[in-house]
Amino acid sequence: MTDPSPASPPAAVPGGDEGAAAKLAMAWTHTARFLTTASKLSELPVSELPEIAFVGRSNAGKSTAINVLTQQKRLAFASKTPGRTQHINLFEVGPRLAPDALFADLPGYGYAAVERSKKLRWQQVMAEYLEVRRNLRAIVVLLDSRLGFTELDLNLLDFVGARIGGGSVKMLVLLTKADKLGRRALDDALAGTQSTLAPLIGESADVGVAPFSALSRQGVDDAALWLHRTVAGPGVPAP
Protein backbone atom coordinates (compact mmCIF):
# COMPACT_ATOMS: atom_id res chain seq x y z
CA MET A 1 0.00 0.00 0.00
CA THR A 2 1.87 3.05 -1.16
CA ASP A 3 -0.61 5.72 -0.39
CA PRO A 4 -3.49 4.88 1.85
CA SER A 5 -4.06 8.39 3.05
CA PRO A 6 -7.05 10.34 1.83
CA ALA A 7 -5.51 13.68 2.39
CA SER A 8 -2.22 12.84 0.75
CA PRO A 9 -1.71 15.56 -1.81
CA PRO A 10 -1.21 14.36 -5.35
CA ALA A 11 2.07 15.45 -6.95
CA ALA A 12 2.19 19.16 -7.66
CA VAL A 13 1.24 20.37 -11.09
CA PRO A 14 4.09 22.41 -12.51
CA GLY A 15 3.17 26.06 -12.73
CA GLY A 16 -0.19 25.61 -11.04
CA ASP A 17 -1.72 25.01 -7.64
CA GLU A 18 -4.00 22.29 -6.37
CA GLY A 19 -7.08 24.47 -6.79
CA ALA A 20 -6.34 25.05 -10.45
CA ALA A 21 -5.58 21.37 -10.97
CA ALA A 22 -8.87 20.42 -9.32
CA LYS A 23 -10.76 22.84 -11.59
CA LEU A 24 -9.17 21.26 -14.63
CA ALA A 25 -9.97 17.82 -13.31
CA MET A 26 -13.62 18.78 -12.75
CA ALA A 27 -13.81 20.28 -16.25
CA TRP A 28 -12.47 17.01 -17.55
CA THR A 29 -14.88 14.76 -15.63
CA HIS A 30 -17.71 17.05 -16.76
CA THR A 31 -17.15 15.91 -20.36
CA ALA A 32 -18.38 12.39 -19.52
CA ARG A 33 -21.13 11.20 -21.85
CA PHE A 34 -22.95 7.93 -22.26
CA LEU A 35 -21.29 5.60 -24.75
CA THR A 36 -22.90 2.20 -24.52
CA THR A 37 -24.41 -0.44 -22.27
CA ALA A 38 -23.52 -4.12 -22.11
CA SER A 39 -24.97 -7.14 -20.36
CA LYS A 40 -21.74 -9.13 -20.60
CA LEU A 41 -18.06 -8.59 -21.13
CA SER A 42 -18.06 -9.67 -24.75
CA GLU A 43 -20.57 -6.91 -25.56
CA LEU A 44 -18.23 -4.16 -24.38
CA PRO A 45 -16.21 -2.45 -27.09
CA VAL A 46 -12.54 -3.34 -27.05
CA SER A 47 -10.66 -0.16 -26.25
CA GLU A 48 -7.14 1.05 -25.68
CA LEU A 49 -8.41 3.95 -23.58
CA PRO A 50 -7.69 3.72 -19.86
CA GLU A 51 -10.87 2.66 -18.08
CA ILE A 52 -11.94 3.43 -14.53
CA ALA A 53 -14.70 1.26 -13.06
CA PHE A 54 -17.10 2.39 -10.33
CA VAL A 55 -18.33 -0.42 -8.10
CA GLY A 56 -20.43 -0.59 -4.98
CA ARG A 57 -23.36 -2.12 -3.20
CA SER A 58 -26.75 -0.99 -4.23
CA ASN A 59 -27.62 2.20 -2.31
CA ALA A 60 -23.97 2.98 -1.47
CA GLY A 61 -24.29 6.30 -3.28
CA LYS A 62 -22.55 5.30 -6.51
CA SER A 63 -24.92 7.06 -8.91
CA THR A 64 -24.94 10.20 -6.79
CA ALA A 65 -21.13 10.18 -6.68
CA ILE A 66 -20.81 9.79 -10.44
CA ASN A 67 -23.33 12.55 -11.00
CA VAL A 68 -21.60 14.96 -8.64
CA LEU A 69 -18.16 14.14 -10.01
CA THR A 70 -19.32 14.76 -13.56
CA GLN A 71 -21.59 17.66 -12.54
CA GLN A 72 -24.43 16.10 -14.44
CA LYS A 73 -27.76 15.55 -12.77
CA ARG A 74 -28.75 12.39 -14.52
CA LEU A 75 -25.69 10.77 -16.07
CA ALA A 76 -25.47 7.77 -13.78
CA PHE A 77 -29.20 7.56 -13.34
CA ALA A 78 -29.16 6.43 -16.94
CA SER A 79 -27.75 3.28 -15.34
CA LYS A 80 -30.88 3.00 -13.24
CA THR A 81 -33.38 3.11 -16.09
CA PRO A 82 -35.25 -0.11 -16.81
CA GLY A 83 -33.16 -2.51 -18.84
CA ARG A 84 -29.88 -0.98 -17.79
CA THR A 85 -29.71 -1.68 -14.06
CA GLN A 86 -28.03 -5.01 -14.58
CA HIS A 87 -25.71 -3.71 -17.24
CA ILE A 88 -22.24 -2.29 -17.37
CA ASN A 89 -22.70 1.28 -18.58
CA LEU A 90 -19.76 2.93 -20.31
CA PHE A 91 -19.10 6.65 -20.46
CA GLU A 92 -16.57 8.35 -22.66
CA VAL A 93 -14.48 11.18 -21.18
CA GLY A 94 -12.30 13.88 -22.73
CA PRO A 95 -12.54 15.85 -25.96
CA ARG A 96 -15.40 14.65 -28.14
CA LEU A 97 -13.23 13.90 -31.12
CA ALA A 98 -10.39 12.44 -29.07
CA PRO A 99 -11.71 10.84 -25.89
CA ASP A 100 -8.94 9.95 -23.47
CA ALA A 101 -10.68 7.70 -20.95
CA LEU A 102 -13.70 5.55 -20.22
CA PHE A 103 -15.69 5.34 -17.02
CA ALA A 104 -17.53 2.06 -16.42
CA ASP A 105 -20.51 2.07 -14.05
CA LEU A 106 -20.88 -1.49 -12.82
CA PRO A 107 -24.24 -2.69 -11.51
CA GLY A 108 -24.85 -2.19 -7.80
CA TYR A 109 -24.82 -5.50 -5.98
CA GLY A 110 -26.52 -6.80 -2.88
CA TYR A 111 -30.02 -5.56 -3.63
CA ALA A 112 -32.18 -7.89 -1.57
CA ALA A 113 -35.09 -8.08 -4.00
CA VAL A 114 -33.03 -9.53 -6.85
CA GLU A 115 -33.52 -13.25 -7.25
CA ARG A 116 -30.60 -15.51 -6.48
CA SER A 117 -29.97 -16.79 -9.99
CA LYS A 118 -29.73 -13.21 -11.27
CA LYS A 119 -27.35 -12.28 -8.46
CA LEU A 120 -25.09 -15.17 -9.30
CA ARG A 121 -25.09 -14.31 -12.99
CA TRP A 122 -24.20 -10.75 -12.11
CA GLN A 123 -21.44 -11.73 -9.83
CA GLN A 124 -20.00 -13.74 -12.68
CA VAL A 125 -20.21 -10.87 -15.16
CA MET A 126 -18.51 -8.51 -12.72
CA ALA A 127 -15.88 -11.06 -11.75
CA GLU A 128 -15.03 -11.59 -15.38
CA TYR A 129 -14.92 -7.88 -16.04
CA LEU A 130 -12.61 -7.22 -13.09
CA GLU A 131 -10.31 -10.10 -13.92
CA VAL A 132 -10.14 -9.80 -17.67
CA ARG A 133 -10.96 -6.29 -18.94
CA ARG A 134 -7.61 -5.43 -20.45
CA ASN A 135 -7.74 -1.62 -20.39
CA LEU A 136 -8.95 -1.47 -16.77
CA ARG A 137 -6.64 1.03 -15.07
CA ALA A 138 -8.41 1.70 -11.80
CA ILE A 139 -11.45 0.93 -9.71
CA VAL A 140 -13.35 3.31 -7.48
CA VAL A 141 -15.10 1.41 -4.69
CA LEU A 142 -18.04 3.22 -3.09
CA LEU A 143 -18.72 2.21 0.49
CA ASP A 144 -21.35 3.71 2.75
CA SER A 145 -19.20 5.28 5.46
CA ARG A 146 -21.56 3.91 8.12
CA LEU A 147 -21.12 0.33 6.91
CA GLY A 148 -17.55 0.13 5.64
CA PHE A 149 -16.55 -3.04 3.83
CA THR A 150 -19.22 -5.72 3.82
CA GLU A 151 -18.66 -9.31 2.85
CA LEU A 152 -20.11 -8.63 -0.60
CA ASP A 153 -17.58 -5.87 -1.25
CA LEU A 154 -14.74 -8.09 -0.14
CA ASN A 155 -15.96 -10.94 -2.35
CA LEU A 156 -15.88 -8.62 -5.31
CA LEU A 157 -12.40 -7.36 -4.46
CA ASP A 158 -11.17 -10.93 -4.52
CA PHE A 159 -11.57 -10.93 -8.27
CA VAL A 160 -9.38 -7.91 -8.83
CA GLY A 161 -7.08 -8.35 -5.83
CA ALA A 162 -4.23 -9.84 -7.83
CA ARG A 163 -4.25 -6.94 -10.31
CA ILE A 164 -4.37 -4.40 -7.49
CA GLY A 165 -1.67 -6.20 -5.56
CA GLY A 166 0.55 -6.27 -8.65
CA GLY A 167 0.10 -2.54 -9.16
CA SER A 168 -1.48 -2.74 -12.62
CA VAL A 169 -4.88 -1.58 -11.35
CA LYS A 170 -5.19 1.28 -8.85
CA MET A 171 -7.96 1.54 -6.30
CA LEU A 172 -9.70 4.45 -4.63
CA VAL A 173 -12.12 3.64 -1.82
CA LEU A 174 -14.62 6.43 -1.21
CA LEU A 175 -16.51 6.42 2.08
CA THR A 176 -19.77 7.94 0.94
CA LYS A 177 -22.38 10.01 2.81
CA ALA A 178 -19.57 11.28 5.04
CA ASP A 179 -21.90 14.13 6.07
CA LYS A 180 -23.86 11.60 8.12
CA LEU A 181 -20.94 10.95 10.45
CA GLY A 182 -19.23 13.15 13.00
CA ARG A 183 -15.53 13.74 12.71
CA ARG A 184 -14.61 11.06 15.22
CA ALA A 185 -16.81 8.39 13.67
CA LEU A 186 -15.47 9.27 10.23
CA ASP A 187 -11.88 8.91 11.44
CA ASP A 188 -12.80 5.51 12.88
CA ALA A 189 -14.41 4.49 9.59
CA LEU A 190 -11.28 5.52 7.67
CA ALA A 191 -9.00 3.64 10.04
CA GLY A 192 -11.24 0.56 9.96
CA THR A 193 -11.30 0.56 6.18
CA GLN A 194 -7.55 0.90 5.96
CA SER A 195 -6.94 -1.91 8.39
CA THR A 196 -9.34 -4.17 6.47
CA LEU A 197 -7.42 -3.42 3.29
CA ALA A 198 -3.90 -3.72 4.66
CA PRO A 199 -3.65 -7.52 4.71
CA LEU A 200 -5.30 -7.79 1.31
CA ILE A 201 -2.81 -5.81 -0.68
CA GLY A 202 0.93 -5.83 -1.05
CA GLU A 203 3.55 -3.14 -1.25
CA SER A 204 3.16 -2.48 -4.96
CA ALA A 205 -0.51 -1.64 -4.63
CA ASP A 206 -1.63 1.91 -5.26
CA VAL A 207 -4.62 2.36 -2.99
CA GLY A 208 -6.28 5.40 -1.47
CA VAL A 209 -9.13 5.73 1.01
CA ALA A 210 -11.03 9.00 1.33
CA PRO A 211 -14.24 10.41 2.79
CA PHE A 212 -16.78 11.58 0.25
CA SER A 213 -20.04 13.46 0.43
CA ALA A 214 -22.16 14.61 -2.45
CA LEU A 215 -24.09 16.75 0.03
CA SER A 216 -21.23 18.67 1.64
CA ARG A 217 -18.92 18.14 -1.34
CA GLN A 218 -16.24 16.81 0.97
CA GLY A 219 -13.71 14.88 -1.11
CA VAL A 220 -15.26 15.71 -4.47
CA ASP A 221 -12.35 17.76 -5.82
CA ASP A 222 -9.80 15.27 -4.54
CA ALA A 223 -11.61 12.38 -6.15
CA ALA A 224 -11.81 14.25 -9.48
CA LEU A 225 -8.08 14.96 -9.26
CA TRP A 226 -7.37 11.33 -8.54
CA LEU A 227 -9.39 10.27 -11.59
CA HIS A 228 -7.73 12.82 -13.81
CA ARG A 229 -4.23 11.95 -12.68
CA THR A 230 -4.91 8.26 -13.06
CA VAL A 231 -5.45 8.94 -16.73
CA ALA A 232 -3.25 11.92 -17.44
CA GLY A 233 -0.33 11.32 -15.05
CA PRO A 234 0.77 13.49 -12.13
CA GLY A 235 2.40 16.27 -14.10
CA VAL A 236 -0.19 16.74 -16.80
CA PRO A 237 -2.53 19.56 -15.88
CA ALA A 238 -4.93 19.40 -18.81
CA PRO A 239 -6.56 16.58 -20.72
Interface residue with ligand GDP, options 11, 12, 162, 215 (CB under 6 A)? 215
Question: Binding segment for ligand GDP among 38-46, 57-65, 200-208, 221-229 (CB under 6 A)?
Answer: 57-65
Question: Binding segment for ligand GDP among 33-41, 45-53, 154-162, 209-217 (CB under 6 A)?
Answer: 209-217
Return the number of the residue (180 or 236) whose C-beta is nearest ligand GDP: 180
Q: Does 196 interact with ligand GDP (rule: CB under 6 A)?
A: no
Interface residue with ligand GDP, options 23, 30, 146, 180 (CB under 6 A)? 180
- Looking only at the bridges linking them, the beta strands covering 170-176 and 136-144 are parallel
Q: Does 56 interact with ligand GDP (rule: CB under 6 A)?
A: yes
Answer positive or negative: Cα dihedral of 10, 13, 18, 23.
negative
Return the number of the residue (108 or 208) whose C-beta is nearest ligand GDP: 108
What are the beta bridge partners of residue 26? none
Return the number of the residue (31 or 145) whose C-beta is nearest ligand GDP: 145
Question: Binding segment for ligand GDP among 26-34, 53-61, 90-98, 223-231 (CB under 6 A)?
Answer: 53-61
Interface residue with ligand GDP, options 189, 214, 225, 227 (CB under 6 A)? 214
In our burial notation (b when 16+ CB lie closer than 10 A, e otherwise), range 36-46 reads: ebbbebeebee
Return the number of the residue (186 or 214) whose C-beta is nearest ligand GDP: 214
Q: At what angle do helices 151-165 and 116-132 cross, to 10 degrees?
A: 20
Question: Binding segment for ligand GDP among 94-102, 197-205, 212-220, 222-230 (CB under 6 A)?
Answer: 212-220
Q: Does 86 interact with ligand GDP (rule: CB under 6 A)?
A: no
Question: Binding segment for ligand GDP among 15-23, 42-50, 62-70, 199-207 (CB under 6 A)?
Answer: 62-70
**Which residues in this chain contact ligand GDP in the complex, by CB under 6 A?**
56, 58-64, 108, 176-177, 179-180, 213-215
